[in-house]
Amino acid sequence: MSSSSVLPMSLYEGLLAKLVKILELTQKPEGTATPQAKQALLHASSIAQAKDLAAELAGGELRIDEQDEVIEMLTQLRDRKRTGSN
Protein backbone atom coordinates (compact mmCIF):
# COMPACT_ATOMS: atom_id res chain seq x y z
CA MET A 1 0.00 0.00 0.00
CA SER A 2 1.46 3.36 -0.97
CA SER A 3 1.59 6.25 1.45
CA SER A 4 -0.60 8.33 -0.87
CA SER A 5 -3.57 6.02 -0.20
CA VAL A 6 -3.22 6.14 3.59
CA LEU A 7 -5.84 8.33 5.22
CA PRO A 8 -5.27 10.03 8.57
CA MET A 9 -6.61 8.18 11.64
CA SER A 10 -8.60 11.29 12.62
CA LEU A 11 -10.72 10.78 9.51
CA TYR A 12 -11.83 7.36 10.72
CA GLU A 13 -12.37 8.48 14.31
CA GLY A 14 -15.09 10.96 13.40
CA LEU A 15 -16.66 8.94 10.59
CA LEU A 16 -19.32 7.11 12.61
CA ALA A 17 -20.40 10.21 14.51
CA LYS A 18 -20.72 12.13 11.25
CA LEU A 19 -22.71 9.31 9.68
CA VAL A 20 -25.16 9.33 12.57
CA LYS A 21 -25.47 13.14 12.40
CA ILE A 22 -26.19 13.02 8.66
CA LEU A 23 -28.79 10.30 9.15
CA GLU A 24 -30.45 12.26 11.95
CA LEU A 25 -30.58 15.41 9.83
CA THR A 26 -31.92 13.70 6.72
CA GLN A 27 -34.51 11.59 8.55
CA LYS A 28 -36.23 14.44 10.41
CA PRO A 29 -39.85 15.02 9.35
CA GLU A 30 -38.92 18.33 7.73
CA GLY A 31 -35.93 16.69 6.04
CA THR A 32 -33.49 19.23 4.67
CA ALA A 33 -36.16 21.68 3.48
CA THR A 34 -35.27 24.48 5.89
CA PRO A 35 -32.18 26.65 5.42
CA GLN A 36 -31.03 25.67 8.92
CA ALA A 37 -31.26 21.97 8.08
CA LYS A 38 -29.37 22.47 4.83
CA GLN A 39 -26.64 24.37 6.64
CA ALA A 40 -26.41 21.71 9.36
CA LEU A 41 -26.10 18.97 6.76
CA LEU A 42 -23.45 20.89 4.87
CA HIS A 43 -21.58 21.42 8.11
CA ALA A 44 -21.80 17.72 9.04
CA SER A 45 -20.23 16.50 5.84
CA SER A 46 -19.22 17.36 2.34
CA ILE A 47 -20.84 14.66 0.23
CA ALA A 48 -18.43 15.08 -2.68
CA GLN A 49 -15.40 14.90 -0.41
CA ALA A 50 -16.78 11.86 1.41
CA LYS A 51 -17.43 10.12 -1.90
CA ASP A 52 -13.90 10.81 -3.11
CA LEU A 53 -12.35 9.59 0.14
CA ALA A 54 -14.51 6.46 0.17
CA ALA A 55 -13.54 5.66 -3.42
CA GLU A 56 -9.86 5.85 -2.47
CA LEU A 57 -10.10 3.61 0.59
CA ALA A 58 -7.88 0.56 0.47
CA GLY A 59 -10.14 -2.31 1.51
CA GLY A 60 -12.53 -0.38 3.69
CA GLU A 61 -13.85 -3.42 5.51
CA LEU A 62 -14.93 -3.05 9.11
CA ARG A 63 -14.03 -5.58 11.76
CA ILE A 64 -16.94 -7.49 13.30
CA ASP A 65 -16.87 -5.36 16.46
CA GLU A 66 -16.91 -2.19 14.34
CA GLN A 67 -19.84 -3.53 12.31
CA ASP A 68 -21.67 -4.29 15.56
CA GLU A 69 -21.03 -0.72 16.75
CA VAL A 70 -22.47 0.74 13.53
CA ILE A 71 -25.50 -1.56 13.72
CA GLU A 72 -26.12 -0.58 17.36
CA MET A 73 -25.90 3.15 16.59
CA LEU A 74 -28.25 2.80 13.63
CA THR A 75 -30.67 0.73 15.73
CA GLN A 76 -30.68 3.42 18.42
CA LEU A 77 -31.30 6.10 15.79
CA ARG A 78 -34.18 4.08 14.33
CA ASP A 79 -35.70 3.54 17.77
CA ARG A 80 -35.47 7.26 18.60
CA LYS A 81 -37.17 8.09 15.30
CA ARG A 82 -39.97 5.62 16.04
CA THR A 83 -40.60 7.08 19.49
CA GLY A 84 -40.39 10.64 18.19
CA SER A 85 -37.53 11.70 20.46
CA ASN A 86 -34.43 13.30 18.96
**Cβ atoms of residues 36 and 28 within 8 Å:** no
- pLDDT of 17 > 60? The answer is yes
What's the whole-model pTM score?
0.33
Predicted confidence (pLDDT) per residue in 22-66, tens digit:
777 777 776 667 787 777 777 665 666 767 777 777 666 778 888
**Cβ atoms of residues 64 and 13 within 8 Å:** no
**Cβ atoms of residues 45 and 26 within 8 Å:** no
- pLDDT of 3 > 50? The answer is no
